[in-house]
Amino acid sequence: MLERGQVANSWRRERWDSLRLLTPNWLTRLPGHRYYGADPDGFMTSAELVRFVSGFAEIIDVPVRTETTVTSVQPTDDGYHVFTTAGDLRCRCLVLASGACNLPSVPAFRSAVPHSLECLTPMDYRRPAQLPEGGVLVVGASATGIQLADEVHRSGRPVTLAVGEHVRLPRTYRGRDVLWWMETSGIWNERYDEIDDITRARGLPSPQLVGTPARSTLDLNVLSAAGVKLVGRWAAVRDDKALFSGGLRNHIALADLKMNRLLDTFDAWGRESNREDEVEAPHRFEPTRVPTSAQLDLDLTSGETRSIIWATGFRPDYSWLDVPVLDRKGALRHDGGVVEAPGLYAIGLPVLRRRKSSFILGAEDDAAYLIGHLAAYLDRRQGAAIG
Ligand SMILES: Cc1cc2nc3c(=O)[nH]c(=O)nc-3n(C[C@H](O)[C@H](O)[C@H](O)COP(=O)(O)OP(=O)(O)OC[C@H]3O[C@@H](n4cnc5c(N)ncnc54)[C@H](O)[C@@H]3O)c2cc1C
């Protein structure tokens, strides 16, 4: 295993200080490695997750070459040539486990933002004290955006949140964590080749969830009640003004509709599987309150806004992969983790083989399948060489 930093590097280097997992401890697992602590319904901090992953690395005892950055991978006649900052290697098979969130995804109009504003991505942001005093524009209302909007607002800075497409989820439903429903009802287990529009499923924003000891819901209603100002999706910059889309109402209506459909699915599953006695009675949540007159632009030079946090998503970095397996948009071409090049595999990408593949717990099943495929590939090659 080659790792440019230390084991669990992304959780050591690329997360903000207060971050806790949004998946509860009982769902945080790696193959044969589980949380056995006293708080199964709690949510690990990044530091706790680093210990959890490091403990796993010790148990499996696979040689990890840390502080070794892969700078290039090139195909050869019988596998791959891997160039690293600590020497070269050759291999017959290669598993890309370099992560789905290496780089922040920021809109191109970022370059038109006046230089007087401090701009951060979630990879640079650590705590509110890093920001200048004054207004903060948080762009994006998925898991990262709502968590950072909440934290920055609590620091006393006025926050405006630009809201595009988002996935609304309550923390708990009928007395159970919403991810209990996702896991137990089998929704998270849905296979990639059974999903109608897999490209869309893989591109969906992360759910509006936060892991806190209080297990509280953090959605747009909670944020706007606390004083966070909601505006539409940030669409462009013109004459030093941020222009927001007029589609906020539609985005909100769609997210509410989808959440209610999901709750209907949970209810139907509860009835059909006779699990009703494990949960409380069905109910529905208050619809998201739409601002009566959402602001459509914001003067970025007025001094009202002093900083911007781009919580607009992440993307993988394959700049070192010199194998022709990327599509026009730079995404890896693969079929459930089997990449379109002999002996090349990927793990740790959104909805790789199942919906749950986007999360830590998904690696368990994905690895089992891919290792089987990889071993069969090596056996076939071995057989061909002997024959
Ligand atoms: C802000 C945030 C919050 C998240 N919260 C949750 C959560 O609550 N629950 C959950 O289940 N999932 C969560 N996720 C998703 C989570 O990151 C993944 O489930 C998990 O970390 C994926 O592990 P991974 O090993 O595949 O990728 P990563 O953790 O990204 O690890 C990839 C590793 O590859 C190394 N690497 C990359 N490029 C190179 C190179 N060229 N050479 C050498 N090494 C390289 C990196 O240093 C890194 O250590 C979150 C993601 C983000 C961004």
CA–CA separation, 373 vs 8, rounded Å?
26
Q: Which atom of ligand 1 is nearest to the CA of 20?
A: 8
- Pocket test of ligand 1: the residue of 359, 361, 370 to mutate, having most ligand atoms within 8 Å of its CB, is 359
Average pLDDT for 348-352: 98
- Please report how many Cα atoms fall inside a 13 Å half-sphere around the Cα of residue 116, on the Cβ side: 10
- Pocket test of ligand 1: the residue of 4, 23, 64, 208 to mutate, having most ligand atoms within 8 Å of its CB, is 4
Q: Atom 7 in ligand 1: which residue has the minimum CA distance?
A: 21
Question: Structure tokens of 34?
Answer: 């589980």
| Predicted pLDDT of residue 376 | 97
CA–CA separation, 143 vs 168, rounded Å?
10
Instruction: Output the CA 117–ligand 1 centroid distance in Å.
Output: 29
CB 288 within 8 A of CB 220: yes
**371 burial via Cβ count (<10 Å: 0-12, 13-18, 19+):** middle
The finding on whether 2 has its CB within 6 A of some atom of ligand 1 is yes
CA–CA separation, 270 vs 235, rounded Å?
41
Q: Which atom of ligand 1 is nearest to the CA of 363?
A: 26
CB 26 within 8 A of CB 41: yes
Instruction: Output the CA 14–ligand 1 centroid distance in Å.
Output: 9
What DSSP designation does 129 have?
Answer: G
The finding on whether 147 has its CB within 6 A of some atom of ligand 1 is no
Instruction: Output the CA 378–ligand 1 centroid distance in Å.
Output: 27
| Predicted pLDDT of residue 383 | 83
CB 251 within 8 A of CB 165: yes
- Those residues with Cβ within 8 angstroms of residue 280's Cβ, 6 or more apart along the chain or in another chain: 174, 175
Partners of 118 in beta bridges: 307
Average pLDDT for 307-327: 98
- Those residues with Cβ within 8 angstroms of residue 117's Cβ, 6 or more apart along the chain or in another chain: 300, 305, 306, 307, 308
The finding on whether 10 has its CB within 6 A of some atom of ligand 1 is yes
CA 245 vs CA 242, 275, 284, 287, 296: distances in Å: 10, 43, 29, 21, 7
- Pocket test of ligand 1: the residue of 98, 309, 321, 322 to mutate, having most ligand atoms within 8 Å of its CB, is 98
Among residues 141, 102, 23, the alpha carbon closest in space to that of 318 is found at 102
Share of the chain above pLDDT 70, in %: 100
- Those residues with Cβ within 8 angstroms of residue 380's Cβ, 6 or more apart along the chain or in another chain: none
pLDDT averaged over the chain?
A: 97
Tell me the pLDDT band of 349, cut-offs 50, 70 and 90: very high
| Predicted pLDDT of residue 384 | 82
| For residue 387, pLDDT beyond 90 | no
Secondary structure of residue 49 in the 3-state scheme? helix
Instruction: Output the CA 293–ligand 1 centroid distance in Å.
Output: 39
Tell me the whole-structure pTM to 2 decimals. Answer: 0.96
- Nearest 5 degrees, angle CA 308-CA 312-CA 314? 125
Instruction: Output the CA 126–ligand 1 centroid distance in Å.
Output: 17
The answer to which of 134-138, 272-276, 319-323 has the lowest mean pLDDT is: 272-276
